[in-house]
Amino acid sequence: MSGAQLAEQAWEPARPGAGPLRVAVVGLGWAGRSIWIPRLDEHPRFTVAAAVDPDAGARASVAAARSTGGGRDDPSGPRLLADPGLLTARDVDLAVVAVPNHLHSRVAARLLTAGVPVFLEKPVCLNAVEADELAQAERAGGAVLLAGSAARCRADVRALYDLARACGTIRHVDLSWVRARGVPDAGGWFTDSRRAGGGALLDLGWHLLDTAAPLLGTASFDEVVGTVSADFVRAGTGAATWRRAGDLDPDPGPHPDPDPHPDTDSGADLASAVRRVDVEDTARGFLITQNGVSVSLRASWASHEAWDSTVIRVEGSAGTATLACTFGFSPNRRGGPVLTYTRDGDTVRVPVPPEAVGTEYRRQLDEIPGLLADPDSPGRAVAEARRAVDAVERFYGSAHSRTALPAGPGPRSRRT
């Protein structure tokens, strides 16, 4: 089919109520295998129709898990494919794309252009050029792009959104996710700017910005300043223990410069690549929206703290709402979420329904069939991603203009 023919395709919403949606999971690493497949398997509205990864070992792990009873319904299990280009809109209703960051827009854009709706993991894109590429692909294929942090679906975050209504006019939002030791490994791409696009800011900061979006509205940021530091990744300390732990090489030395844009980034490729560690483990910044609301943002993969914690504080004309909890899957957490409301010197605790770690991912799945059928969905994920990536690019621009952190090409110059 030619590009011109594709451009004329009308957007066709998924058929709600027409049986389980057939999902392809693209990228069978930690997120694909630990977050997505088990929850899709459990969910009555979805069936895993295909599992895609160029890494034969990753595909074999999925096959092995299903042969020991991990799958549901279809005894033959999902189709195991090496190339997402083999997926068509006839075979699947949705592709969940969980590949390394620098491949997000390329893999998702190809699927969208082929008419396959996509849920794209965060960070949705690494720069404005990639956002354009996704928008163009969504239009050309007539297939919708979905994205968004599952953190928005946490019960405590939803309770915070409700409580924020009692804060009056929002003046300031504090966003902070600080891990004690939580540098992701995944064979090294997370700490390689060419493949990750950035460090803790893109990884944890993206979740924070996404979570704050319902509080801040659609205003973009007028001002963005930030600093970054890399004390922990440079020292080779602070690796996450709940993922595949691995030693980081703080001084990879001269490295061959392979094609920075290969179409795949398989585990085997990563294992043979020379480790490069040139992203921040900590980002601290201050942003101001067009409407004059200020945001302080702190994202740390590692710190001197004992526990991992996430804090969101909403300061308004009528009161302050504060949520202290721990986002993500880290077991290094203390206690459950605490939500408070402060006004005139009085702080009251607001009850938050208890929920198991990771419940938000199941809840996010609950929303996907409705989003696929919603005529307002096309364009929304790209618009939100544009605001986030614009903030990230300017944050890095500010930080790299005044720190000695060795920067790779970084998101600003990527794919331009």
- Closest approach, Cβ 99 to ligand NAD, in A, equals 4
Name the one range near ligand NAD by CB under 6 A: 22-30, 165-173, 292-300, 396-404: 22-30
Q: Please say which residue, 26 or 135, places its beta carbon nearer to ligand NAD.
A: 26
Size of interface with ligand NAD, in residues (CB under 6 A): 31
Q: How far apart are CA 381 and CA 134, in angstroms?
A: 10
In DSSP notation, 62-101 reads HHHHHHTT---S-TT-PEEES-GGG--TTT-SEEEE---G
- Closest approach, Cβ 1 to ligand NAD, in A, equals 21
What does the block give as tokens for 298?
């702190």
Name the one range near ligand NAD by CB under 6 A: 111-119, 263-271, 316-324, 401-409: 263-271
- Closest approach, Cβ 295 to ligand NAD, in A, equals 21
Largest Cα–Cα separation, the chain: 65
Q: Pairing between strand 21-26 and 94-97? A: parallel
Q: How far apart are CA 33 and CA 71, in angstroms?
A: 12
Name the one range near ligand NAD by CB under 6 A: 95-103, 211-219, 229-237, 402-410: 95-103
What does the block give as tokens for 406?
């060795």
Name the one range near ligand NAD by CB under 6 A: 25-33, 133-141, 159-167, 212-220: 25-33
Beta bridge partners of 174: 296, 313
Name which position in 193, 266, 320, 398 contacts ligand NAD (CB under 6 A): 266
Name which position in 37, 48, 49, 53 contacts ligand NAD (CB under 6 A): 53
Name the one range near ligand NAD by CB under 6 A: 138-146, 257-265, 304-312, 403-411: 257-265
- Closest approach, Cβ 389 to ligand NAD, in A, equals 14
Q: Please say which residue, 163 or 297, places its beta carbon nearer to ligand NAD.
A: 297
Q: How far apart are CA 54 and CA 82, in angstroms?
A: 4
Please choose, from the candidates 118, 49, 114, the residue with its C-alpha nearest in 3D space to the C-alpha of residue 88.
Answer: 114
H-helix or E-strand containing 176? Answer: strand 170-178
Q: How far apart are CA 122 and CA 137, in angstroms?
A: 18
Nearest-CB residue to ligand NAD?
Answer: 29
Name the one range near ligand NAD by CB under 6 A: 52-60, 87-95, 161-169, 381-389: 52-60
Q: How far apart are CA 65 and CA 41, in angstroms?
A: 12
47 dihedral zone (left: phi>0; alpha: psi -120 to 50; beta): beta
- Closest approach, Cβ 92 to ligand NAD, in A, equals 14
Binding mask 140-159 for ligand NAD (x = CB under 6 A): ----------x---------
Q: Please say which residue, 23 or 150, places its beta carbon nearer to ligand NAD.
A: 150
Q: What are phi and psi of 135, to 5 degrees?
A: -60, -45
- Closest approach, Cβ 269 to ligand NAD, in A, equals 8
Q: Is 99 in the site for ligand NAD (CB under 6 A)?
A: yes
- Closest approach, Cβ 33 to ligand NAD, in A, equals 8
Name the one range near ligand NAD by CB under 6 A: 13-21, 155-163, 228-236, 265-273: 265-273
Interacting residues with ligand NAD between 103 and 142 (CB under 6 A) = 103, 107, 121-122
What does the block give as tokens for 92?
């699947």
CA count, 13 A, side-chain hemisphere, 144: 21
- Closest approach, Cβ 79 to ligand NAD, in A, equals 13
The single residue listed with the structure tokens 């307002």 is 376
What does the block give as tokens for 273?
């690549």
227 dihedral zone (left: phi>0; alpha: psi -120 to 50; beta): beta
Q: Please say which residue, 315 or 393, places its beta carbon nearer to ligand NAD.
A: 393
Q: Is 263 in the site for ligand NAD (CB under 6 A)?
A: yes
- Closest approach, Cβ 277 to ligand NAD, in A, equals 16
CA torsion 384→390→395→400, rounded to 10°?
140
Q: Is 359 in the site for ligand NAD (CB under 6 A)?
A: no
Q: How far apart are CA 48 and CA 67, in angstroms?
A: 14
- Residues within the interface to ligand NAD (CB under 6 A): 26-32, 35, 52-55, 58, 84, 98-101, 103, 107, 121-122, 150, 186-187, 189, 263-267
